[in-house]
Structure 1
Amino acid sequence: MVDREQINQRAEALLTQYGSSILRLAYSYLHNMDDAEEILQDTLIQYLKTAPVLEQEAHEKAWLFRVAGNLSKNRIAYNKVRSTDELKESLAAEQREDLSFVWEAVKDLPVKYREVIHLFYYEGLSTAEIAAILEQKESTVRSHLMRGREKLRSILKEGYDL
């Protein structure tokens, strides 16, 4: 039996190691930093409650990402039921020389494409790792990546004349 102090110390280490990645993942779903921060907290609370025994560090990361993704999807459904309008931070692509406008365009993609694009490009995960996190076949992940890129290309051509 693992004692509570060890679990708390491991959760603190996970927060330090993966906190910003979980926050970015949640934000990619929710487009609201307050909600994303709550998802980060809720993910760590789930870790503290369940205290999963995971064999490898990669399994811990996958577990955390899966929990954060599921909590984010639940929050999206909750927000739809509550009919809340979130404030959107709009970017003027003409005034920016970086690629932030691309990530803004990613927000317009359906969730199934947005999540794989975020995990692949922003988090640097392989399609096999993404498939494990999302509990999908690797071929499905590759298909979503391809279709997501096509839709993103279309959005960028329409909105930014690229």
Structure 2
Amino acid sequence: MASELELQQAIDKYASEVRKICFIQCKSEADVDDIFQTVFIKYFERKEPFIDEQHEKAWIIRVTINACHDIFRSWFYQKAVLTDDFSQFSIETKSNDGRLIEAVRKLKPNLKNAIYLYYYEGYAIKEIAEIVKANEHTVSTWLVRGRKELKKMLGGDFLEEDETA
């Protein structure tokens, strides 16, 4: 179990990243807050030590994505309509009007996670595969499909085309 000091340090270090991942996934600010709390409660209760800082960060991302998936399964989440303003998260977009980030939010979960981790967090395909526990080729396919979906939705080329992914 983590100490209160370790928990506070983890919150200081990863709060922004956890909130950004939740923002990409969720339909309400309350869901973001719930997931944030869930992630750090699990961190506090974790008994095994982390190998290094990268392992800790990957664990935080994986737990955040899993908590988001848990919310997806609820009836309320599937039927709720987005009404919250997420502008305080200030995720940089290549589009000034925010259409890109809204389009990313509409992608299927696997595509959304791959696009977010690759473009917004700067992870390599191999690192994404380890975080989401998928094959590297699968992650590459998600990136290609995600780009195609975004291109269809936006009618243009908002993401850097990287066909090697």
TM-score by length of 2: 0.81
Runs of 4+ displaced beyond 6 Å: none
Identity %: 26
User: Contact (CA 8 Å) 2:114, 2:139: kept in 1 or not?
Assistant: yes
Deviation at 1:10, TM superposition (A): 1.4
* Residue of 10, 23, 28 corresponding to 1:27: 23
Unaligned runs of 5+ in 2: 88-94, 157-165
Structure (1 or 2) with the larger CA radius of gyration:
1
- 1:128 paired residue number: 126
- Matched ranges for 1:1-162 at <5 A: 7-80=3-76, 83-87=79-83, 98=96, 100-157=98-155
Could you say which residue in structure 1 is the equivalent of 2:162? none
Q: Structure 1 CA distance, aligned partners of 2:139 and 2:43?
A: 26
Q: Which one has a larger percent helix, Structure 1 or Structure 2? A: 1
Aligned length: 150
**Rounded Cα–Cα distance in structure 2 between residues aligned with 1:12 and 1:88:** 27
Give secondary structure in 2 for the equivalent of 1:22.
helix
CA shift, 1:7, in A, is 2.3
- Separation of aligned partners in 1, 2:154 and 2:131: 28
Whole-angstrom CA distance in 2 between matches of 1:82 and 1:141 = 25
Q: Give the equivalent residue in structure 2 for 1:94.
A: none
